[in-house]
Amino acid sequence: MRSLLPLLLVLFFCTCGRAPEPTADAPPPRPNILFIMSDDHAQRAISAYTDELIETPHLDRIANEGMLFRNSFVTNSICAPSRAAILTGKYSHLNGKIDNLTPFNKDQWTFTEELHRAGYRTSLIGKHHLMNIPRGFDEFRGLVGQGDYYNPVFVHNGDTLAPEEGYTTTLITDYALAELRRHATDTSGQPFCMLYWHKAPHRNWMPDTADLAGLLDKRYPEPATLRDEYQGRPAAAHADMRIADMFVSQDLKVLETYEPKDPGTGGATFWPGGPERMARYFYAEIERLTPAQRAAWEPFLARVGKEWQEVKGTDRELAWRYQRYMQDYLASVKSVDDNVGRVLDFLDESGLAENTIVIYTSDQGFYLGEHGWYDKRFMYEESHRTPLLIRYPARVAAGSTTEQLVLNIDLGSTLLDYAGVTPPAEVQGRSLRPLLEGKVPEDWRQDIYYRYYESMNSFHRVARHEGVRDERYKLIQFTEPGFEGYELYDLQEDPHEMVNRIDDPALEAVQARLIERIKEQRVALKVVD
């Protein structure tokens, strides 16, 4: 008997936290859910899609051990509305969150509250950006507003805490791991759904001090459209989101010592207080740093300032601005990747990995110099697309991919499907489960509808528009007064969307078909305005 004791102890600790094995009389256990989301993460900044800019080995693991979605899109490319669409499974016009300014209606249905009612332990760790906290979370530790890259303020289950020292991407992960450790030692069998949502790589892209060394020596290839002149695209020409007009302070990290008056507009032409107020935000960020953090940043900022003075007003300025932007943006992505790696390792070590669905996505894509831009909002590919990687060893074949058109509103329905829960009829998203398991339903969508609501007299001056995109063609209808009109693109012949073909007789039939599809989609999706 004594000789069996060590073996019994080993078996106990090895199985602690694992899902119970199904028996002949019991269904398989419901999966755990780890929903990882970053903010403004472009597909091009994940090496599972392309390694031209960065290596992201830990994010790539999710794709390599599950499915990579090559055609994943959002319904409204702006932060808070995208998050609301994900939570509710509905387009902005139905969930009410059409822009970043109106509060989220916390009394409406969300897939997380439905999972909570179905017996899941639910948590949100990180950025939510919805002003109101959605219902149905057992554990909520969210950033206040956009959050800061250093020493952030969290709201914990309704209580606003003091600033916490550290780098925000790491702190969010520390709290996610603490919640996961709770699950790993829980013998009740209760499944969990955790929203592990990062601030990074949202503007203003402040890297971790650990990633500053050597960062200014890195160089990245310029996109072919960096110097786009926007012929035939008046709304694009009028937008205020060019790298050439970024704040040199807030965005490029040039201190007043080197540039007393910031020349950038930074997208804030119509913002209360204007560009001058927005440009000051960076100095507030610097003031937040601890003495040790500031000491790490000082030599970095000194070199940035000297470089700026050398290139300012020369033909090298735009190239320098682009590199400066990419250095900070991609370093912010690297930290996300490193920290996701910590979480994936813990899932393996704890025995949770096999029965846990892991999703990685972003609230939308982002411009990394394409069309000369940063930011998002437009229906053009770089911001309309979003990364989507899903791993579930029990159901999804490793290394699988799909080309089908999928939307962010599909994610909640997918997770409910695997949990054995039926969403209400008004949910507009569809479960991705058939695609994940290698089947394409005969009635799978052939095109997708998009709608952007903010006006030209708003942040970044992006005109209101809507549109449809199918496998090959995209039609955008701008409805902003003074910018009304259509743009038509052949994505096969013109993947960078540089040539508006709306007046091309060769595409007359395509144009007519897509104009009709916008009307049909509006009816089907209950768009009333």
- Comparing CA positions, the residue from 400, 369, 309 lying closest to residue 53 is 369
Residues 7-13, mean pLDDT to the nearest whole number: 38
Q: What is the pLDDT of residues 376-393, one digit of tens each?
A: 999 999 999 999 999 999
Where does the pLDDT of residue 133 fall: very low under 50, low under 70, confident under 90, or very high at 90 and above?
A: confident
On whether the CB atoms of residues 121 and 106 are closer than 8 A, the answer is no
What pLDDT shows up at residue 6? 39
Strand pairing category for 356-362 and 388-391? antiparallel
On whether the CB atoms of residues 140 and 157 are closer than 8 A, the answer is yes
Residues 7-33, mean pLDDT to the nearest whole number: 54
pLDDT above 50 (res 178):
yes
What pLDDT shows up at residue 273? 76
Residues 249-253, mean pLDDT to the nearest whole number: 96
Where does the pLDDT of residue 280 fall: very low under 50, low under 70, confident under 90, or very high at 90 and above?
A: confident
Domain boundaries, the chain: 28-205+329-439, 215-328, 452-524
What pLDDT shows up at residue 528? 85
Where does the pLDDT of residue 250 fall: very low under 50, low under 70, confident under 90, or very high at 90 and above?
A: very high
Domain 28-205+329-439 belongs to what architecture?
3-Layer(aba) Sandwich (3.40)
Q: Which of 208-212, 318-322, 451-455, 465-469 has the lowest mean pLDDT?
A: 451-455
Residues 353-365, mean pLDDT to the nearest whole number: 98
Residue 322 to residue 320: CA distance in whole angstroms: 5
CB count in 10 Å sphere of residue 374: 26
pLDDT above 50 (res 2):
no
Q: Which of 22-26, 221-225, 247-251, 330-334 has the lowest mean pLDDT?
A: 22-26
What pLDDT shows up at residue 27? 65
Where does the pLDDT of residue 241 fall: very low under 50, low under 70, confident under 90, or very high at 90 and above?
A: very high
User: 452-524, what's its fold?
Assistant: Arylsulfatase, C-terminal domain (3.30.1120)
What pLDDT shows up at residue 270? 81
Across the chain, what does the average pLDDT equal? 93
What pLDDT shows up at residue 15? 38
pLDDT above 90 (res 358):
yes
What pLDDT shows up at residue 26? 57
Q: What is the pLDDT of residues 61-78, one digit of tens each?
A: 999 999 999 999 999 999
Residues 112-134, mean pLDDT to the nearest whole number: 94
What pLDDT shows up at residue 16? 40
pLDDT above 90 (res 275):
no
Q: What is the pLDDT of residues 25-69, one digit of tens each?
A: 556 789 999 999 999 999 999 999 999 999 999 999 999 999 999
Q: What is the pLDDT of residues 395-447, one digit of tens each?
A: 999 999 999 999 999 999 999 999 999 999 999 999 999 999 999 999 999 99
Q: What percent of the chain has pLDDT over 90?
A: 87
- Comparing CA positions, the residue from 519, 511, 529, 497 lying closest to residue 235 is 497
Where does the pLDDT of residue 333 fall: very low under 50, low under 70, confident under 90, or very high at 90 and above?
A: very high
**b/e sequence 491-500, b meaning 16+ C-beta within 10 Å:** eeeeebbbeb
Measured over the CA atoms of residue 438, residue 68, residue 114 and residue 423, the dihedral's sign is: negative
Residue 87 to residue 474: CA distance in whole angstroms: 27
What pLDDT shows up at residue 12? 38
Q: How far is CA 398 from CA 62, 158, 195, 411, 483, in A?
A: 9, 40, 23, 19, 46
Residues 217-244, mean pLDDT to the nearest whole number: 97
Residues 125-144, mean pLDDT to the nearest whole number: 92
What pLDDT shows up at residue 132? 82
pLDDT above 80 (res 162):
yes
Q: Which two tokens stand for residue 152?
A: 């952030």
Q: Which two tokens stand for residue 93?
A: 């016009």
Kind and range of the H or E element at 406? Answer: strand 406-407
Residue type, 258: Y
What pLDDT shows up at residue 271? 76
Q: What percent of the chain has pLDDT over 70?
A: 95
Residues 480-500, mean pLDDT to the nearest whole number: 97
What pLDDT shows up at residue 13? 37
What pLDDT shows up at residue 129? 87
What pLDDT shows up at residue 457? 84
φ, ψ for residue 149, nearest 5 deg: -70, -25
pLDDT above 60 (res 325):
yes
